[in-house]
Structure 1
């Protein structure tokens, strides 16, 4: 090996290892899934278009875990993940909703999907900025997101489309309530949730006892089986449960915040009292 080649390798310009590439490869799978959804949208095939966005959301939950498991998280990977999320959870669902129904509203429909995409991009940018402050956060704050995460926001926005895939006895309900006015109002609501300051529960940093862990794993396994066998009932139902969790998460956040503030004030009073006693 030449001296120039040795210097280049020492400087970190050699070929990256497979462990460093693997999380980014998973991210690119999610990106390809989002692109495939757009392809099916342009073909007017709504069901596979929704399926590939769901697949992208599942993949999005894996790449970060793979990076942490292999200890190969990089700034490049984080930026690539954001670009993939923007396409899969901003552009792809927006195009799907526009060509599915909102195109009939002409300019208003296009403005609505642009608002949705802009809100998702703001959401992702804000999340990226928050990563730099992660170490400075109190531990309990790490148990919450600010606003609805982009993958969940994308899936929530697609609930009206999912309901049309269900052929059961209550199909007439979705046929009556799903029109361009209700869908556009619903889309604007989901876009607002994504950029809001509403605290939503994050499962990343919660410490769960072994008993509850096994119970949650069992529930998730049952939900996965049901989602595979009857996805267009279970996925909207999970969306409804998520909406219910938002006010519960807000109340829980306020409770923990009040306890944390009270503990800080108590500690400050003790420190002042101790200082006064030492000066006497």
Structure 2
């Protein structure tokens, strides 16, 4: 069935809404509404996880959509978090003069700039890996480095803690600067991270996990900063496990080779079943090959032939 041209608007519209949400976080930060700024980045990450499946579901993937998605990710999860952190912590800090004028810029801007540039490099590498004609089978289900939405949210963890627990060591400028450098390094690193869309759980754990999800959503209304910070902390804690699992699959090719063979066998079985021809109908005396009754004259002739064959068999010694 041909795709309706207008259906391509929906995935791109979701991407544009994610871009608008990411840019709105900067406006919230400039007005001093820092939790609203973090929430806007979170909404952008949710929308970013929907535009790709929507495009594949509607069979409306396009080159312009892929480019728009990358630009939206750079703004929403690279530029916007850097500006939010700068407005919160580094604006008005110790400054250095800019050559050729009386303008000044804070020292913290260098760390925010480093974070934004590393996110751009991470997205550029991700786009280059999409053109790989021979992807590694054991690397399926893994990202290289932390993805852009996770990096954008992780950059705001010190701000989350400051909103909930007020000032502490986590909100000092050296700690915030070191945190930005750490997240930027994880974004451009070669560390494997598990893609959430590839996670599969046993059927026995579906109900408990759904109940836990409902509990987390309910607590999000009462302690949103703590729940979000805990979720991001759990994501960071999974990095050692992701690295171990990646190396384990790499050293045991029989695990992913068996899976690929099973897929090939299933596809070949489907093709064989589709190629099976219907069995031919048996000839019945007095009826044609298609089962319709023969005319009376031909029917008597056919019956006489059958009787003659039966009698000939009986006469044989």
Structure 1 residue aligned with 2:58, among 59, 64, 70? Answer: 70
Of stretches 70-79 and 111-120 in structure 1, the one that deviates more from structure 2 is 70-79
Structure 2 residue aligned with 1:231, among 224, 229, 234? Answer: 224
| TM-score, normalization by structure 2 | 0.71
Shift of 1:98: 0.5
Of stretches 71-80 and 141-150 in structure 1, the one that deviates more from structure 2 is 71-80
Structure with more helix by fraction: 1
SS in 2 for 1:164: helix
SS in 2 for 1:137: coil
Q: Distance in 2 between matches of 1:114 and 1:257?
A: 36
Structure 1 residue aligned with 2:146, among 132, 145, 148? Answer: 148
- Structure 2 vs 1, CA of residues 250 and 110 (structure 1 numbering), >3 Å: closer, same or farther? same
What is the RMSD computed on CA atoms of the aligned residues?
2.4
| TM-score, normalization by structure 1 | 0.80
Over alpha carbons, which structure has the higher Rg?
2
Correspondence 1:69-218 to 2 at 5 A:
69-103=57-91, 104-106=93-95, 107-133=106-132, 136-166=134-164, 171=165, 175-218=168-211
Q: Which residue of 1 aligns with 2:274?
A: none
Q: Distance in 2 between matches of 1:78 and 1:246?
A: 27
Shift of 1:213: 4.4
Q: Distance in 2 between matches of 1:210 and 1:73?
A: 32
SS in 1 for 2:107: helix
Q: Distance in 1 between matches of 2:137 and 2:131?
A: 15
What number of residue pairs does the alignment pair up? 245
More contact order relative to length (CA 8 Å, sep ≥ 6): 1
Gaps of 5+ in 2: 96-105, 258-317
1:48-105 deviation line (CA, Å, top 9, x unaligned): 1111111111111111121122222222111101111111101111001001002314
Gaps of 5+ in 1: 1-14, 265-280
